[in-house]
């Protein structure tokens, strides 16, 4: 048997030696005459000479060849719009820009994201809720428009020959609980929400107990409960759907970090005879990951959608370094804040009807899957903000602050067990905790879409459309968000949410 196999091996090269490969040369030498080998050598030589001739022709001036190797991942040298930040807001803007462009390939859009694994991105580390229960009409309309988008997501974001998008939306609603001090605010908010068209209902403690028997209604005077378009979904799916659609429409994805801008400054005189410098960005410097290589991208418009890091990006343009009491001296009031999310397991906890519950103490929780898992969290008080240099979780915080309130509200949570936890960044607007959408008066071609302070994910579809309108049409068309512009920061008029928390 083995002898036969060896024979077979010996015979086969002899049979195939007319189309010989280099590895088999030694075998062939021992078996066949030299003539075919010599033939083959000349054939090889001819092919190599042809390759040399081709290379020489390429190296002549006027051809595209260069002796230096070029990194294929470098962004293009020129683009119309560079979006800094590949989170859900950035990709949403990219999608809407492509959606609203008048002709095919009308705008060349690049999205720059420094971490393609999204390991620290706020988008995917959020709890993924959407609600209409805000106090500002702008925020309510943004949520309604986003819910409408998510309802018809496959009309917007389906790509031909790919699976339809399944957001895994849980139609579970939000439940806000108010104590006696804040009940009047809740009533006012309720009427604003109803006026804006949100389907919200108010519940008395008795009705609340009837609807959700597992709640302890001590201290609750009033509750507001969303009937429709509220719940939670999978942020990763939404991000990927936006990304997939935008890239299928021609948006260029680029992995790298923006480390600087090249800009020009024009000095102009104001009516009060003051000198003001107006900046215009010429190019964005994109540094490749883990290397010193960088590429300046010439562009007409930059969109700052860098979320928690957008403040740093604005500093690169000198925002906030000007003289005090001038526009140039006002920094972008967005900074990263760390928030913990805890996954707890409690088999006796509330069931399928669990809403996204927000207590007046600041604690929130929602159901996660069907197996008795819940995720819970809370915003720390202003003075006790955790360190933002890493994403470590403080388990003490759960034990001391969250658990007591949770167990007070839902007695079944006395017997819970923390199974895991994670931390993520908020793009916290320290000025008024609302989004900043629009252009800075002193930087003539940078659009901001940042500072959403935790609402970025749920408002991303509508915000993307608004920013695309602002860029392509010059003003807002569908939703008027001019109140979210930069003006309120420069004139020190905050647009505060009247929260019950």
Q: Which is nearer to other proteins, 232 or 431 (CB)?
A: 232
Cβ 171 to other proteins, closest distance in Å? 4
Q: Which is nearer to other proteins, 15 or 160 (CB)?
A: 160
Residue 417 contacts residue 344 (beta carbons within 8 Å):
yes
Cα pseudo-dihedral 2, 8, 11, 17, rounded to 10: -120
Q: Which is nearer to other proteins, 115 or 353 (CB)?
A: 353
Cβ 199 to other proteins, closest distance in Å? 7
Site for other proteins in 287-326 (CB under 8 A): none
Residue 344 contacts residue 413 (beta carbons within 8 Å):
yes
Nearest-angstrom CA–CA distance, 361 and 356:
15
- Which tokens sit at 469? 């309108």
Cβ 150 to other proteins, closest distance in Å? 8
Cβ 248 to other proteins, closest distance in Å? 10
Q: Which is nearer to other proteins, 172 or 283 (CB)?
A: 172
Q: Which is nearer to other proteins, 99 or 179 (CB)?
A: 99
* Number of shown-chain residues binding other proteins (CB under 8 A): 22
Cβ 351 to other proteins, closest distance in Å? 5
Cβ 371 to other proteins, closest distance in Å? 8
Residue 111 contacts residue 304 (beta carbons within 8 Å):
no
Q: Determine, following the binding rule CB under 8 A, whether residue 103 of this chain makes contact with other proteins.
A: no
Of the candidate residues 126, 229, 310, 458, the single one contacting other proteins (CB under 8 A): 229
- Which tokens sit at 410? 């839902």
Alpha carbons within 13 A on the beta-carbon side of 355: 24
Cβ 373 to other proteins, closest distance in Å? 13
Residue 121 contacts residue 309 (beta carbons within 8 Å):
no
Q: Which is nearer to other proteins, 89 or 203 (CB)?
A: 203
| Residue of 497, 496, 435, 495 lying closest to 470 (CA atoms) | 435
Cβ 408 to other proteins, closest distance in Å? 23
Nearest-angstrom CA–CA distance, 374 and 420:
11
> Starting at the edge strand that comes first in sequence, how are the strands of the sheet with 200-203 ordered?
200-203, 222-226, 174-178, 356-358, 363-368, 373-378, 334-345, 417-429
**Residue span 146-175 as binding mask against other proteins, x where in contact by CB under 8 A, dash where not:** -----x---x----xx-x--x-xxxxxx--
Of the candidate residues 100, 209, 211, 408, the single one contacting other proteins (CB under 8 A): 211
Q: How many CB atoms lie within 10 A of CB 255?
A: 17
- Which tokens sit at 460? 């991303």
Site for other proteins in 326-385 (CB under 8 A): 351-353, 370
CA angle 41, 47, 53 (to 5 degrees): 135
Cβ 354 to other proteins, closest distance in Å? 8
Candidates 226-234, 309-317, 381-389, 419-427; binding stretch for other proteins (CB under 8 A): 226-234
Q: Determine, following the binding rule CB under 8 A, whether residue 204 of this chain makes contact with other proteins.
A: no
DSSP string, 190-232: HHHHHHHT--EEEE-HHHHHHH-TT---TT--EEEEE-SS-EE
Residue 421 contacts residue 338 (beta carbons within 8 Å):
no
Q: Which is nearer to other proteins, 169 or 398 (CB)?
A: 169
Residue 424, strand partner residues: 339
Q: Which residues bind other proteins (CB under 8 A)?
A: 151, 155, 160-161, 163, 166, 168-173, 199, 211, 227-229, 231, 351-353, 370
């Amino acid at each position: 048997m083995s002898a036969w196999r060896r024979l077979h091996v010996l015979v086969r090269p002899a049979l195939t030696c007319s189309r010989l490969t280099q590895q088999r040369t030694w075998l062939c030498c021992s078996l066949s005459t030299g003539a075919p080998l010599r033939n083959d050598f000349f054939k090889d030589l001819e092919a190599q000479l042809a390759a040399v001739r081709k290379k020489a022709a390429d190296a002549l001036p006027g051809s595209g060849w260069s002796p230096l190797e070029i990194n294929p991942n470098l962004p293009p040298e020129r683009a119309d719009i560079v979006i800094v930040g590949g989170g859900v807001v950035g990709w949403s803007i990219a999608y809407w820009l492509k959606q609203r462009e008048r002709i095919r390939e009308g705008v060349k859009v690049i999205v720059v994201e420094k971490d393609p694994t999204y390991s620290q991105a706020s988008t995917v580390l959020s709890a993924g809720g959407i609600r209409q229960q805000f106090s500002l009409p702008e925020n309510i309309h943004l949520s309604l428009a986003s819910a409408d988008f998510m309802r018809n997501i496959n009309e917007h974001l389906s790509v031909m020959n790919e699976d339809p998008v399944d957001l895994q939306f849980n139609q579970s609603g939000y439940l806000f609980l108010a104590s006696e001090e804040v009940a009047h605010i809740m009533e006012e908010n309720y009427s604003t929400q109803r006026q804006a068209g949100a389907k919200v209902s108010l519940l008395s403690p008795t009705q609340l107990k009837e609807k959700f028997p597992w709640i302890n209604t001590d201290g609750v005077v009033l509750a507001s409960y969303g009937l429709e378009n509220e719940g939670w979904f999978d942020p990763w799916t939404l991000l990927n759907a936006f990304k997939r659609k935008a890239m299928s429409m021609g948006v260029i994805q680029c992995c790298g970090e923006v480390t600087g801008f090249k800009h020009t400054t024009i000095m102009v005189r104001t009516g009060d005879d003051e000198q003001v410098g107006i900046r215009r960005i010429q190019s964005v410097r994109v540094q490749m990951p883990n290397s010193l290589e960088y590429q300046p991208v010439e562009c007409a418009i930059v969109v700052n959608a860098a979320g928690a890091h957008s403040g740093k990006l604005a500093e690169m343009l000198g925002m906030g370094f000007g003289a005090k009491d001038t526009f140039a001296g006002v920094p972008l009031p967005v900074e990263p804040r760390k928030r913990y999310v805890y996954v707890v397991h409690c088999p006796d906890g509330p069931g399928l009807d669990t809403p996204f519950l927000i207590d007046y103490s600041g604690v929130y929780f929602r159901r996660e899957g069907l197996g008795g898992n819940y995720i819970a969290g809370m915003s720390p008080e202003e003075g006790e903000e955790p360190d933002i240099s890493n994403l470590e979780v403080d388990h003490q915080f759960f034990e001391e602050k969250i658990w007591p309130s949770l167990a007070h509200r839902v007695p079944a949570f006395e017997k819970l067990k923390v199974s895991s936890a994670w931390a993520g960044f908020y793009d916290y607007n320290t000025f008024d905790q609302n989004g900043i959408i629009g252009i800075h008066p002193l930087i003539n071609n940078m659009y901001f879409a940042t500072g959403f302070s935790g609402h970025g994910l749920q408002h991303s579809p509508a915000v993307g459309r608004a920013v695309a309108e602002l860029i392509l049409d010059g003003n807002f068309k569908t939703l008027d968000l001019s109140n979210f512009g930069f003006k309120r920061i420069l004139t020190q008029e905050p647009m505060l949410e009247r929260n019950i928390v």
